[in-house]
Amino acid sequence: MAEDWTEEKVRVGETELCVLKGGQGRPLLYLHGELGFEGWCKWHTELARKRTLLVPLHPGFGRSQAADWIMDMRDLAAFYTRFVREQGLAPVDLAGFSLGGWIAAEMAAANSAQLHKMILVGAAGLRPPQGEIMDMYTVTARRFLGRNVHDPEHTPEFATIYGGSPEQTAQQAATQWEAFEDARAATARIAWKPYMFTQSMSHLLDNVTGLPTLIVWGRQDNVVPLAAGQLYRDKIAGSRLVEFDHCGHMPMIEKSDEFIRAVMDFLD
């Protein structure tokens, strides 16, 4: 499916945003996590059979221009609210993973009417009632990535998208790890203190009404504990939490078939 991508430059105010696009049908906006866009996976390919996937690279990530005025996650959510409005997408179906899930939750809390359906996958943004969000700055990017999945050796797409596959050249690997470090720096700027959550989120989610929401989590998530997913379920009225056993922070590649089925059923 990667060969079917198009890459567009879209201006949002003074910022030039890189947006990847593929598929057909009603738009599905996907907001990537704290290490940048992971690349086209099986779940993207399957959803693109029925949906046009829009994948913006967050400002300051990858090939998107940085925006100096974006100082925190609420600023970034306001940026994407403007993007959705100016692109004529509202109300849009929105999926967010980890950091991207936090952005989605902020957007919903500010104005749930701009969204049609929302999918949160291992979303940051809430302080877990039990456990803590893993601090990725206390370890190397490689070690942090290893903690993202429950069983890396038996997750085929993990090596493909995060390095180590036979097809990847040394230059490609070096470029990829440099991009990971750049993404970690960009994340630190907007989500450092408190780390990967905001105290007000649990209260702001009371504003989310009438928004069909699917929450997807791995029970063995070592990055954002399952307790955060359960709190999202409790705080977002009418939401549904799907838990996958023997699964870490990335159910979309660890349990790809089950994930695709749950998401497609929800969107349909």
- Domain with residue 113: its CATH number is 3.40.50.1820
For residue 56, give its domain range. Answer: 2-267
Which of 113-117, 123-127, 150-154, 161-165 has the least mean pLDDT? Answer: 161-165
* Strands of the sheet with 26-31, listed across from one edge: 6-12, 15-23, 51-56, 26-31, 92-97, 115-121, 213-218, 240-244
Q: How confident is residue 5, by pLDDT bands cut at 50, 70 and 90?
A: confident
Q: Which residues have a Cβ under 8 Å from the Cβ of 55 and sit 6 or more positions away?
A: 19, 20, 21, 30, 32, 37
The answer on pLDDT for 1 being more than 70 is no
Give yes or no for residue 119 having a pLDDT over 60.
Answer: yes
Q: pLDDT tens across 188-235, in order? A: 999 998 999 999 999 999 999 999 999 999 999 999 999 999 999 999
If phi > 0 it is left, if psi is from -120 to 50 it is alpha, else beta; for residue 44 that is: alpha
pTM comes to 0.95
Is the pLDDT score of 178 beyond 90? no
H helices within 111-204, ranges in order?
141-148, 156-162, 170-191, 201-204
Nearest to 54 by CA among 76, 86, 32: 32
Q: How many domains does the chain have?
A: 1
